[in-house]
Structure 1
Amino acid sequence: MKKLFLILIACFAFATTAFAGPVNLNSATTAELEVLNGVGPVKAKAIMDYRVKNGPFKSVDDLEKVPGFGKKTVDKLRADLTVTSGAAPSKVAGKPKAAADKK
């Protein structure tokens, strides 16, 4: 029974990551990065450290600047990664001009 339970958990974990969509390098947690094939705790921490030191990634190719990631590794991960900023659009930009002029 214990083996069956472990198999079900493994299947669930795989299914949720397979359909989760690309991981955003600029907002992913360490746990989210570790789900990627070939990224363990050490590489996930390296990504987090790079983000803190250098700011957001501008492209997936920037991952090659992180220690432990070469071109081959980045190419394997490319389909599973994105680098959107994730920032919400500004509400001020959507105000009509007349409303903005009334101060």
Structure 2
Amino acid sequence: MLKKTLLFILSFFVATGLALAEVDVNKADQAALDGVRGIGPSMSRRILDERQKGGSFKDWSDLQARVKGIKDKAAAKLSANGLTVNGQPKAGASGDAVARSGKAAKSPRAENKGKEPAAKADKMAEEPAAAKK
């Protein structure tokens, strides 16, 4: 039983490590590209066809110009999910550090969740006092 538990834990960490591995668009095959979150079979096929037709991608702007469906927003997401061009993530892509660290940034809305605005809290505090009069 202990061996099975340890094997499960080990396989979980191996699978998790593979999911966060970087995939270079110039070296990857279709299976590796499909493994990147946000790339499906049709996009991986377009990437491979364009790479075969025009050679390796020079940088992110070259990839975006040559492959239909990859614009700035999509490129940033793909980069955050581990796709690289010549080993480089997309410059300025939000989430690059987040994807590698595994930590998500908290939005101001998430930080204020459950907290009422001061004016609303004051009004609620006044209501019971007014009801007693």
Question: TM-score band (shorter)?
Answer: 0.5 to 0.7
Q: Which amino acid in structure 1 is aligned with residue 29 of structure 2?
A: T
Flag structure 2 segments of 5+ consecutive residues without an equivalent. Answer: 1-7, 88-133
TM-score scaled to structure 1, two decimals?
0.61
Q: CA deviation at 1:78?
A: 1.8
Structure 1, unpaired ranges of 5+: 1-7, 86-103
Equivalenced residue count is 75
Taking a change above 3 Å as real, the CA distance of residues 16 and 50 of structure 1, as seen in their structure-2 partners, is same
For residue 44 of structure 1, report the CA deviation from its aligned partner.
Answer: 0.2
- Match for 2:83 among 75, 81, 87? 81
Secondary structure at the residue paired with 1:73?
Answer: helix
Alignment of structure 1 residues 1-103 onto 2, 5 Å: 15-20=16-21, 22-65=22-65, 66-79=67-80, 80-84=82-86
> What is the Cα deviation at residue 82 of structure 1?
2.3
State the TM-score, normalized to the length of structure 2. 0.49
Higher relative contact order (CA closer than 8 Å, sequence separation 6+): 1
Asked whether the 8 Å contact 1:61–1:74 carries over to 2, the reply is: no
Q: CA deviation at 1:76?
A: 0.8
Cα distance change on mapping 1:15 and 1:46 into 2, 3 Å = same
The share of aligned pairs that are identical, in percent, is 39
Query: Pairwise CA RMSD of aligned residues?
Result: 2.3
Q: Which structure has the larger Rg over C-alpha atoms?
A: 2
